[in-house]
Amino acid sequence: MGEAAFWGLVGASALIIGAEVAFAFNLRREVIGLIMAFGVGALISSLSFELVLPSLQVAETWEVALGLLLGSLTFVAGDTAIARLGSKGRKNPEGEEGGSGLGIVLGTVLDGLPESAVLGISIATGGGVSVSFLAAIWISNFPESLGSTVGLEKSGTSRLQIRLMWVAIVVISMIAAAVGFAVADAFSDVNGALVQSFAAGALLTMIASEMAPEGFRRSGLPAGLATTLGFILAVWLTTLD
């Protein structure tokens, strides 16, 4: 569990680094969009090879499909509830539809929870950290922090408050990774596969509803190329695990 929490910290550290980059540089929205699209490809590749495929090897297809569906429904329900608190547009670097501070915090936590939990699950079921999935999480967290930090600062939030927010979210991510490890470790192979597919469904829904549209909105058609490159990188990193 301690190992999972540590790697959860590593994956979430991109949130703090992204905030500091946003404070120091005025990156163009197209650049942020391309980074986000790259992360989309890396995450899709990682969840396919690290979660769904192993689940299919130890569980029935309908069980994996059920887990995916339940994970997706859970994310949609949580995202819908949090959107009412003002999290809509939390990744927008131009400050449009910036949302409330609480909504941005809760929305960012919701986006990061599936990633961190899946990281813990992959460690519990695979016996070690997946290089490809850890890299994909880091890459996806970086533009998330960039966009949210710029939007928060433009809405009047102080840099100290923003830094404290990201530190708190990193701590929550560590806890989520540890909890994911504990849950997966407590289940049998079949149930563990259901947990994996549940997490994959939540993560895939987050990618489709949040990251992919935002990456395309910011960078346009080149987002497709960046997504493919991210997918290729994650496939290559999978061979190193």
Reported as a single tens digit per residue, the pLDDT across 106-131 is 666 766 676 777 777 767 666 567 77
The whole-number pLDDT of residue 98 equals 45
In this prediction, residue 63 has a pLDDT band, given cuts at 50, 70 and 90, of confident
**Kind plus residue range of the DSSP H or E element containing 157:** none
d(CA 43, CA 123): 16
The whole-number pLDDT of residue 66 equals 92
Mean of pLDDT values over 10-27:
88
In this prediction, residue 27 has a pLDDT band, given cuts at 50, 70 and 90, of confident
Which DSSP letter does residue 56 get?
A: H
The whole-number pLDDT of residue 232 equals 92
Helix, strand, coil share of the chain (percent; to 5): 85, 0, 15
Phi, psi of 240 (to 5 degrees): -90, -15
Instruction: Tell me how long the chain is.
Output: 241
The whole-number pLDDT of residue 215 equals 86
On the 0-12 / 13-18 / 19+ scale of CB atoms within 10 A, 25 is exposed
Predicted confidence (pLDDT) per residue in 189-230, tens digit:
556 677 778 878 888 988 888 788 888 988 899 999 999 999
**Quick check: 2 pLDDT over 60?**
yes
Selection from 89, 96, 37 nearest residue 223 by Cα:
37
The whole-number pLDDT of residue 73 equals 92
Q: What is the model's pTM?
A: 0.76
Predicted confidence (pLDDT) per residue in 128-186, tens digit:
677 777 887 888 788 778 877 877 887 788 899 889 989 988 998 888 888 877 776 76
The whole-number pLDDT of residue 203 equals 84
In this prediction, residue 4 has a pLDDT band, given cuts at 50, 70 and 90, of confident
**Quick check: 85 pLDDT over 80?**
no
User: Which residue ranges make up each domain of the chain?
Assistant: 2-238
